[in-house]
Structure 1
Amino acid sequence: MTAVTRPTLHHLALTVTDLASSVQWYGEVFGVHPVLDVPHQGGVGRILADADRRLMIALHHHDANDGALGHETTTGLDHAGFAVPSRADLEHWQDHLEAHGVVRADVADKPLTQSPIADEPYASVLVFRDRDNIQLEFFAPAH
């Protein structure tokens, strides 16, 4: 049997309630910019990417979206995790997120909130949420 090539993540696709606001927020926070619109039945996907297209995020608008906020306890995306090199990078991200409206809180349990950095045995973790309450995380290797 021939071994398969290990895939890498090509893009992260998220359904959002307000495409324009989410494009602006993800663009400011992650430094990605619209590169392509992909119409689909009942909506459109807007592809955002950085200059070398190593980070690509697809934000989808569906006409049938009822406007409900996302939550990890329902079937579908639980969260997306991004790697950063060090805990110091997490501290810089805290400030960067705050500068883009993601307020510090005891727990990241509402849209545009971030938790304190948790130093776990497996990694240091910064949890935050986007405008639609989708949970995102930054991971740095454990010290």
Structure 2
Amino acid sequence: MAFPGLQHVAITVSDLERSTAWYTALFGAGPVLDEDEEGGRFHHTVFALDGGMLFGLHTHQGRESGETFDEQRTGLDHVGFACASHAELERWAQKLTDLGIAHEGVKKAHYGSGVSFRDPDNIALEFFAAPGS
């Protein structure tokens, strides 16, 4: 039996309104869902990405730690978005620049190339293209 692919990623944010605006600009589309979870434990705002993937922003009704994201802490290190080619990766780097989102340009390695950047909560994100693409 093949292991299933990822269907969604959800991250906790400190300011839902700010993060929703930031990700709307990055994704070029607004959320497809924005509601409180049935049990009232969290609120989620969800974006639909190509390929059926969902990307969610969560708040936990004021129970968030308030700490800044740190990939050196146990848990999430970063979220990587797949690019089909190096040319597409370059276009995303330019879009980040156009949006005023800080990044260090395309970095190449033997395992692929990427553009790393951070969201308003300092969560590490990356556009990534496999080698030879």
TM-score range for the pair, normalised by the shorter chain length = 0.7 to 0.9
| Contact 1:42/1:64 (8 A) holds in 2 | no
- Comparing both structures, which one devotes a greater share of its residues to helix? 2
Equivalent residue of 2:56, what SS? strand
Q: Secondary structure at the match of 1:57?
A: strand
Residues 1:128 and 2:117 are matched in the alignment: yes
Residues 1:21 and 2:10 are matched in the alignment: no
Write the distance in 2 (CA, Å) between the matches of 1:31 and 1:7.
27
Letter in 1 for 2:46: I
Equivalent-residue separation in structure 2 for 1:74 and 1:20 (angstroms):
25
**RMSD (Å) for aligned C-alpha atoms:** 1.9
Name the structure 2 match of 1:44: 43
Q: Which amino acid aligns with 1:71?
A: D
Instruction: Report the 3-state secondary structure (helix = DSSP H, G, I; strand = E; otherwise coil) of the residue aligned with 2:32.
Output: strand
Partner of 2:5: 8
Q: Could you tell me the TM-score, scaled by structure 2's length?
A: 0.85
**Residue correspondences, number:** 129
| Poorly superposed stretches of 4+, deviation over 4 Å | none
**Sequence identity percentage:** 40
Structure 1 residues 54 and 31: alpha-carbon distance in aligned structure 2, compared to 1, 3 A threshold: farther
Task: Map residues 1-143 of structure 1 onto 2, 5 A cutoff.
Answer: 4-36=1-33, 37-39=35-37, 40-50=39-49, 54-62=52-60, 63-103=62-102, 114-143=103-132
Structure 2 CA distance for partners of 1:42 and 1:6, relative to 1, 3 Å: closer
In 1: Cα distance, 2:99 partner to 2:68 partner? 19
Structure 1 residue 31 displacement after superposition: 2.8
5+ residue gaps, structure 2, are none
